[in-house]
Amino acid sequence: MQPDQRKKGSVDVDFFTEYGEGGRYRIEEVIGKGSYGVVCSAYDSHLGEKVAIKKINDIFEHVSDATRILREIKLLRLLRHPDIVEIKHILLPPSRREFKDIYVVFELMESDLHQVIKANDDLTPEHYQFFLYQLLRGLKYIHTANVFHRDLKPKNILANADCKLKICDFGLARVAFNDTPTAIFWTDYVATRWYRAPELCGSFFSKYTPAIDIWSIGCIFAELLTGKPLFPGKNVVHQLDLMTDLLGIPSPESIARIRNEKARRYLSSMRRKRPIPFCQKFPNADPRALCLLEKMLAFDPKDRPSAEEALADPYFKNLARVERESSAQPVTKMEFDFERRRVTKEDVREQIYREILEYHPNMLKEHLEGAEPTGFMYPSAVDQFKKQFAYLEEHYGNGGTVAPPERQHASLPRPCVLYSSDNSMQSSAEVTNDLTKCCIKEVEKPHVDRISGIPKTRLPLQVPPTVGQVLLLRGLGKWLAQCCGTTTVEQRLLNIEGWLGIQLFQLNMLFLPQEETRALKMRGEKTGVEGSSVLQPKPPQYVSRKVAAAQGGSGSHWH
């Protein structure tokens, strides 16, 4: 094996750990690393295409980090648009309540806008126009959903060689509801400083608007035109100095509306600066592009156009038609209830799990119908009890003799194979038939009466249950279902199904009518006294029994 092949193999093993769905992906190379984890390119054998898989490690170490991840995957599920990166799949964790890593599968993009600007000095005016058009089109869709991105920068704009751009990284995004004071609970430290709007630098205004994203898009567009950042401030004060050097001191009316007293005093005490004409700052740019850029970089947010208004600008005359650019349905409060209250680590874990189920329709259907699976390696005990008792009530109550439904999960122990003394193997149909008659097939052994000392034979307990028994079992099932409603009890009762199978047939003798019990007892005593050769105990047979799962032994898969 070649060294690079060994390396790829080790990446596969280390990357997916115990996640069963990892087998459908062939890891190719690591394309990014960060404090969150690692991103690898991979080939999806199910879809037959390349994807990017983002592994996020220890997401519940800090509740704030977990909340950010929840926010991002929820928004990317709700905001489906050609100019927004798409989540194609999220791998199903092996345990609902104990997972700590998640694997998010994105569509694979070749690079980001930061690398494009850095590596290409031959971009044309057509490139600039098409790039800005895509960014504003995506931003219109985001803003019509009442979402502010708040962290737009070249590294958060993915790019392909065909000039296709997609907005990504919604971890700092927020949903703005009409009745919510959006500025009070939001931190001002959002977006990389170089692309941060003035109102975010000094808490200038009482309410944030989508204009904060328009400013960031303006900074990105200016960087496309010059090949370098427009406002590379070293700190907040330096950032404001660079802004006012280009735009001039804001008007007294704008300064008077600033809520931060220190910011008001600082701007009022600044020496008077005249704005630099954009045609002088960007001498080779299209005049129509500079006209739109000047609007987007207005110091006062109320003077900036919306994304929809910007798309209607003459700069996009031959490219955009505002009426065909799609809008989103506003995000509902219910989707982002976790943003409006204090949440615990377990709250966020449950909501992230719910988001993962959106990419697993069958599991989601069970979840919405009220099933509460404790994990993906075994089914819910409550659901299994409901099915079995409903079946007993329907069939045995009408005199039926059909066996209850079997477990249908591949992760559980398989049906056993019985061997007799001559090493002949029974067919699976015979085995199933035997198991439906009795959960544990015991070897017939002589039983010695304590008083007479005469051996006698136990009769198999295969008497169909009576209506009274079925009603009793139904009540027992309801009681078990209620007990399993809590998490701790449900985890402890994962093994109870096998135990219940044994008890069902032991109850047959306990609740038989007195006449039947007396008749069976008399038959046993008579057989023991007369020593009939017909009912003599048979020689012991070796029987390989499936008892580990039923009794909850050390080899059980239920633990």
Neighbours of 395 (CB within 10 A): 15
- Cβ atoms of 177 and 165 within 8 Å: the answer is no
List the structure tokens of 350.
């449950």
Cα(204)–Cα(410) distance, integer angstroms: 60
Of 83, 101, 151, 213, which one is the catalytic site residue?
151
151 is catalytic: yes
Amino acid identity, position 139:
L
Helix axes 381-395 and 496-510, enclosed angle (nearest 10): 30
Neighbours of 341 (CB within 10 A): 7
Cα(96)–Cα(464) distance, integer angstroms: 39
The DSSP output letter for 229 is -
The DSSP output letter for 50 is E
For residue 221, what are the contacts with CB-CB under 8 A and spacing of at least 6? 128, 131, 132, 135, 289, 293, 296
Which residues make beta-bridge pairs with 162? Answer: none
Neighbours of 421 (CB within 10 A): 10
Any known ligand binding at 55? yes
Token pair 């954009």 is found at 278
- Cβ atoms of 104 and 87 within 8 Å: the answer is yes
Catalytic residue set = 151
Binding-site residues for ATP: 55
Binding-site residues: 55
